[in-house]
Amino acid sequence: MDTYILKIGGSSVTEKDNNKCKAKTDVIRCIATEIKKAKSERSFRLVVVHGAGPFGHKLVTDYGIKDGIRDEKDAEGFVRTHNSMEDLNKIFMDIFREEGLLGFPVQPSACIVQKGGKIERFDTSIVSKLLETSKDIIPILYGDMVIDSKLGASVVSGDAIVPHLAKKLKADRVLMGTDVDGIFTADPKLGRNARLIENISKSNFNEILRSTGEATNVDVTGGMRGKIMRIRDSLVGIPVVIFNITKEGHVYRALMGEKIRSTEIRL
Ligand code: ATP
Ligand code: IP8
């Protein structure tokens, strides 16, 4: 049975463009109903990782803890950012339950330790066991603040969790949902002439990296550029689809293996 990892980007499910800690519950509900429909028509295992939007990026910026924690105020920021991510995760959990899905929260800060902002240890055995227990259980992880052996604590992006999990679980496909149709020749939110790049391989990767920016909004984990660098570093051999998850029908079609407007990366 295929295993998919679905990243639900913070830009699509939160008011990231306004930097407000508010979830777009209608988008989350639509995603949940489409997952439910796909699951009723096809057998596959699914792990969901959601991003932070302002629930994480705003707090990390306001507390100034992007590069680690040094004092009591920073420690407060560490805890408050984690609390805020749990609030966002709870919104996901409630909507998934209301839509009849068996979402199971897996707290990244309880299974990941970083060193200098990079994952050093990640116990993925709970996620594997949850998937083995039932094909209907959907482990749900998220970008978080975690203990860091060099920096005290640091941010782990959902974009870093996804490749790590995909490798460990030998995922068949990684689906990365965000608020734009994929990777463009320039940030589509800034220029009208940006053109969608439909396929990325080893041969055009470096050229594309040069045209890819971070994010137009508050983002401490590198935006679109950070996303594709992590894909390059860890996702060799696993197909990755970057697509607009806010468009109705896209998650369903992506989970059914149908072609949608997107960027497909095979390295
Ligand atoms: P989060 O990190 O909060 O989970 P996310 O994963 O949805 O959010 P972002 O990190 O915000 O996504 O990255 C997506 C943003 O990257 C887009 O909204 C877009 O404005 C920006 N971007 C910059 N350059 C490009 C590009 N060349 N192609 C596509 N998007 C780009
Ligand atoms: O939005 C960031 O996760 P991302 C997590 O997936 C925090 O990059 C706490 C800012």
CATH number at residue 53: 3.40.1160.10
Distances (CA, A) of 66 to 11, 74, 156, 199, 222: 19, 10, 10, 33, 12
Find the mean pLDDT for residues 28-57: 97
Ligand nearest the Cα of residue 66 is 2
3-state secondary structure of 139: strand
The per-residue pLDDT for 141 is: 98
Pocket test for ligand 1, best of 187, 241, 247, 261 (most atoms within 8 A of CB): 187
**What confidence tens digit (pLDDT) does each residue in 78-123 have?**
999 999 999 999 999 999 999 999 999 999 999 999 999 999 999 9
Q: How many domains does the chain have?
A: 1
Indicate the pairing of strand 14-15 with strand 112-115.
unpaired
- pTM score: 0.94
Q: How far apart are CA 85 and CA 59, in angstroms?
A: 10
**What confidence tens digit (pLDDT) does each residue in 187-211 have?**
888 877 888 999 999 888 888 887 7
3-state secondary structure of 254: helix
| 217 CA closest ligand 1 atom index | 11
pLDDT at 218 over 80: no
Q: Which amino acid is at 167?
A: K
Pocket of ligand 1 contains residue 54 by CB under 6 Å: no
Please calculate the CA angle 253-160-254 and round it to the nearest 5 degrees. Answer: 5
Range of the domain at 26: 3-265
Whether residue 240 contacts residue 160, with contact meaning beta carbons closer than 8 Å, is answered with: no
3-state secondary structure of 181: coil
